[in-house]
Amino acid sequence: MKKNGEYIIGFISLIAILALGKSGLSSPMLFFRLIAGLGLGYALTRANFGFAGSVNRTYRTGSTKLMIALMVMFVGTAIVNASFFIGQDATQYDLWVNPINLGLILGGILFGFGMAFSSCCASGVLTDVVTGLPRAGITLIFFGMGVYLGFPLQSTAPWITDTIVSTETFSNGVFLPDLFKGDGLGGYLGASILTVIFAAIVIWISKVYEDKRKAQNTYTGVDAEFAQEKTYEDKEAFKLFSNNTYEKLFVRPWTLGMGAVVIGSICILLMGVTKAGWGASTPYGFWFGKLLILFGVSPESVAAFSHKPVEIFTMPFFNHPINVQNIGIILGTLIALLLAGSLTKTFKEGLSISFKEILIYAVGGITMGLGTRFSNGCNVGALYTPIANFSLSGWIFLVFLVAGGILGNVVYKKLMANGSCKIQSSETN
């Protein structure tokens, strides 16, 4: 398909999605979730931004630019979120102050290991449905299986449900503002400074590591990041309706910084509108349960095993807000590629897959799924949102996520040694 054709289809599709969402979704809040998902999917794709890439790119190429961009986004989101909480009762928000326990540690390791195998995470697998369908499809099925199989443990195992340490505001986790109650802003000044310090430490380690890789001549960089850093010279006089203007608006890749600003802004809007942060992975277990029901398992049996209400598996799909948001991420990716005129090329490039890769992606999916249940979230639910909610658990998860990602990449590299598997591009280029 010619690029101009994709441009037209992109605009028509966007209008159709918004029109159908407005008329077909049952509430304005669900429509807001659709718009938020569209924005997240568009930004993740346009900026080639992903959470799994923060570890995968670092290990495979030596580039820590994405890790640094994530730290800046975490700090910015947390500081702006503080404006919602100062002088308010934080318990009136659905803050993800997660337990600190063995589950958090094991979940971080498992999730990091899985995202190295599948080259994506809970949000990345949604964008990859468009950019690498076979890999994403296999990963998503087994991700959902892992989430579903982990539901009983998440509900009953003390090493997942109980915390070894907590503070005053939330009984099941450490809320950083509780450590600085006397700072004049209810603890949020001290918590914000501590968040900046933690992020600065990660950035410093990242810089040192990248410089070391460059000194050892093992730094290769990431093609997409080179494209993002490219300087464009606009020699033509500005015209609103011109190819040059269109490329600026819809084709040229965003920088990682731009991606961080847009994604962070959407997550701040989510907090303001829904009083909760960004989550993605739990519905994958619900989707797997619906798949079991489709194959003849009774809804009651599916619900009893998972320790979830039967209604969660029988309710209309688009009545669940995170379902709507997740589908919005897929559609946002589709729109981004159509408007850039690169959908056909990108989709075709992602179709190749070998039997060995199928097994690798299945292992990646199930380990990520189980990891989310142990740690009570994924890269957004156990990392980004808790950090932005001033939960100490997010920083602990990051440490073990990186450890698991390194382990996964070491094993993946050995499996690839015979050349029968290839490093996927979505989180490494």
> Tens of pLDDT along 78-90?
999 999 999 999 9
**How far is 327 from 140, CA to CA, in rounded Å?**
13
Task: Report the percent of the chain where pLDDT is more than 90.
Answer: 89
State the pLDDT at residue 238. Answer: 75
Residue 136 one-letter amino acid? A
Res. 272: pLDDT tops 70: yes
Amino acid at 168: E
The pLDDT of residue 423 is above 60? no
**Do the Cβ atoms of 278 and 380 come closer than 8 Å?**
yes
> Whose CA is closest to 343, among 333, 351, 352, 353?
333
Give mean pLDDT, residues 417-423. Answer: 55
**Residue 417 has what pLDDT?**
76
- Residues 6 or more apart in contact with residue 10 via CB below 8 angstroms: 335, 338, 339
Residue 429 reports pLDDT greater than 50: no
| pLDDT per residue as tens digits for the range 292-317 | 999 999 999 999 999 999 999 999 99
pLDDT tens sequence across 29-68: 999 999 999 999 999 999 999 999 999 999 999 999 999 9
Which amino acid type is present at position 118? S
- Residue 184 and residue 6: Cα distance in Å, rounded? 55
pLDDT band of 427, cuts 50, 70, 90: very low
Looking at residue 391, what DSSP letter applies?
B
As a whole-number percent, the residues of the chain with pLDDT over 70 amount to 97
User: What pLDDT is stored for residue 241 in this prediction?
Assistant: 79
Beta bridge partners of 276: 94
pLDDT in tens, 5-30: 999 999 999 999 999 999 999 999 99
Structure confidence at residue 240 as a pLDDT band (50, 70, 90) = confident
User: Cβ(286)–Cβ(313) under 8 Å?
Assistant: yes
Question: pLDDT tens for residues 126-148?
Answer: 999 999 999 999 999 999 999 99
- Using CB atoms within 10 A of its CB, is residue 65 exposed (0-12), middle (13-18) or buried (19+)? buried
**How far is residue 277's CA from residue 275's CA, in Å, rounded to a whole number?**
7
pLDDT in tens, 102-112: 999 999 999 99
269 has a pLDDT exceeding 80: yes
381-418 burial, b for 16+ CB within 10 Å, e for fewer?
A: bbbbbbbbbbbbbbbbbbebbbbbbbebbeebeeeeee
Predicted confidence at residue 20, as pLDDT, reads 98
Per-residue pLDDT, averaged over 97-124, amounts to 97
Question: Looking at residue 418, what is its pLDDT?
Answer: 63
- Any idea which residue has 């808790």 for tokens? 386
What is the per-residue pLDDT across 200-235, written as a single tens digit (0 to 9) for each? 999 999 999 999 999 999 999 999 999 888 877 777
